[in-house]
Amino acid sequence: MIKSIGIAAIALITSCTVYAQTSQKEQYRPAYHFTAPQNWINDPNGLIYLDGEYHIFYQHNPFGNVWGHMSWGHAVSKDLLHWEHLPVALEEYKNGDDSTQTMIFSGGAVVDSANTSGFFEKGKKDGMVAIYTAHKHASLKGLAQYQNLAYSADKGRTWKHYDKNPVLDIGLTDFRDPFVFWYAPGKKWIMSVVKALEYTVQFYESPNLKDWKLLSEFGKQGDVSKIWECSSLFQVPVEGEKEKKWMLMLSSGHRQKDYLAMQYFVGDFDGKTFTPQKQDEILYIDEGKDFYAGIPFGNLQSKKPVMIGWINDWEYANKVPTEKFKGAMSVPRELSLKKTDAGYRLVQTPVALSLITKKGIELTNIKVKENLPLKYKGESYELKAEIEIGTAKTFGIKLLKSEGEESILTYDVTKNTLRFDRTKSGNIGFSDRFPSVESVVVKPENGKVSLHLLVDKSIVEIFANGGAQVMTDVVFPVKHEGNIELFAEGGTATFKKLIINPIIK
């Protein structure tokens, strides 16, 4: 029900329609979230910027649409939104004449501009070095994990493995996911790498990427309900301040039992030891079910770090109902920290999508009571809303709505809680672990709640109050009508602003 809305706004609601056009087999392929041309992907690897190109490497099965034969896929972009797919960069390989294979597990990449490794000709400043976990296995049974090097003299197009690999082996079967950066104050490389089953991150130093010395360990705190993976240590600016703080991110357990998520710690790093600041709660990067293994770009000159994460969850990742591909990447997120009474807290904002969107509808002062369908149809768009709470007990937005199915974003005024419900979102029967409701505390700011939603066929990324709280979930609509409906219960809420921009990519 609309109580306060102009004639021009009504005309916009009734006239602006964008219809989804998707083949049945590719019905869930996102329009603007990164996916491989075909087959399985998981963790982003080796995110690096060099000479105007952003590189994404990623865990990839070149032979099938489920996990296996882990190799590094590769793509490049000029703007983080349009990606050019390149041949597989690092392929699984056989170990001599025995029956074992080595998969290329997760890791990082650096630009060795000073040629500390000696891999490149004199004076070359754009040599790339990949540091990855070699996963030795037989019949998919893990036998060993250690850290290897590969290097490229042509900006990542072709690679050679270091002939004296491994460069770091401590004799464990679960020792993985190196993240490496140049620590300028000490003129040395720093590696964070995880002893996964021991909930421990180790820090090493090296002058040349080949010889590594253990500096310190951090662990056994925060969320230890699942194995630790994919750590990264880097500096993040504090909003409104000149200072930067060190942040350690890693993949681990979820607020809800037996799911997966990422956590972070904020503190200081002196070139040897990471010292976290005291925190009274576990700090999660994303409160949804489908954001994991995120890492930031290296060699980036921007003021804020930029992170990409894998969109899926190991609880059902192999079972999701996508035909030609499985897994996607988040829209790149800029990271900063906000100083609060409880300590430093992460703020995440998606990179601007203006290059791939067109102007859709822009409405103001929509007073909502009960249900208000918008005459807008689409499955890939960006939505921004600023909502004044009013007298309603709950209010929200129903996304990707068709007859009998909807993905519901609800704000509970009495509990200051934002909830995303995908239990009626369409195809939910492929795994009993899939139907779920996520929630996060979102406190109003000046009596308002702001939302920034990235909806993309089978992906919903939710940024609340400027990215102070984030949830990411996959959904699989069946009927593809792509309707949007505003609602309020127990009173009224006013959508002071509502902007929906469709994707033109």
* Tokens linked to 271: 């070139």
E strand or H helix that includes residue 11: helix 7-15
* Tokens linked to 284: 């999660």
- Beta-carbon contacts of residue 123 (< 8 Å; ≥ 6 apart): none
Report how far apart, in Å, the C-alpha atoms of 120 and of each of 129, 154, 505 are. 10, 11, 38
Q: Is 485 exposed, middle or buried (0-12, 13-18, 19+ CB in 10 A)?
A: middle
Dmax over CA atoms of the chain, in Å, equals 76
Q: Is residue 193 within 8 Å of 147, Cβ to Cβ?
A: yes
Rg value, the chain, Cα: 23
Q: Is residue 409 within 8 Å of 399, Cβ to Cβ?
A: yes
Main-chain phi, psi angles of 246, to 5 degrees = -85, 140
Q: Is residue 327 within 8 Å of 60, Cβ to Cβ?
A: no
Distance between CA atoms of residues 130 and 109, nearest Å:
4
Q: Reply yes or no: is the peptide bond before residue 296 cis, omega within 30 of 0.
A: no
Residue 242 one-letter amino acid: K
Q: Which residues are catalytic?
A: 43
Query: Residue 378's closest CA among 360, 358, 400, 356?
Result: 400
For the chain, the first-to-last Cα distance in angstroms comes to 34
* Tokens linked to 23: 């083949």
DSSP string covering 388-447: E-TT-SEEEEEEEEETTEEEEEEEETTTTEEEEE-TTSS--TT-TTS--EEEEE---BTT
Distance between CA atoms of residues 489 and 277, nearest Å:
41
Query: Residue 438's closest CA among 420, 462, 415?
Result: 420
Distance between CA atoms of residues 418 and 400, nearest Å:
18
Query: Residue 104's closest CA among 51, 48, 145, 65?
Result: 145
Q: Is residue 456 within 8 Å of 33, Cβ to Cβ?
A: yes
